[in-house]
Amino acid sequence: MDMQHKLMKHLIVTVFSGLFLLFCLTGCWQRNPDFENQIWINNSTKDSLYYQVTKKYIRDDSYVNEAFLPPGLKRIGGHYKYKSLEIIGREHDNPGDTVEIFRNGELLIKWAAPFREMPDSIHHFFNENSWDIKMGGYDNEWEIATFTITEEDFKQ
């Protein structure tokens, strides 16, 4: 009976270890966006766009450097520690960093860093005043920053 008990214990440990590993590898162990500050882009045009970040210096690959933007909202980042505008400022702190927007392979606009405060009349990805910030997530404790891309952006 003692040998049977040891085998059963070993089997249970093996099964739970396997399930834990499977859980981690399948991406089910991801941070819940309801518990972090979020960065969104609202594509208010009628066409799908392509968002691309070019960095002068790459420190790590933890930022989203490109995204397909169908019309509507698209989450492009988040962080549990930094406020929404801090996330953008930390990711784009070099004057050589840019955000480019393409449609059908054609470059429509290129915004250059660093993130800064400009007049409200200037709609620019790196203008703090161009971002709409509201509270959301769990218990409305987290910031949700949204930048809206419009057709007007491409007429400059």
Q: What is the pLDDT of residues 18-69, one digit of tens each?
A: 656 555 555 554 555 567 888 999 999 999 999 998 877 665 544 447 899 9
Q: For 142-153, what is the mean pLDDT? A: 94
pTM reported for the whole predicted model: 0.72
pLDDT digits (tens, 9 = 90+) for 90-113: 877 788 888 999 999 999 999 999
16-55 as b/e, with b when 16 or more CB fall inside 10 Å? Answer: eeeeeeeeeeeeeeeeebeebbbbbbbbebeeebbbebeb
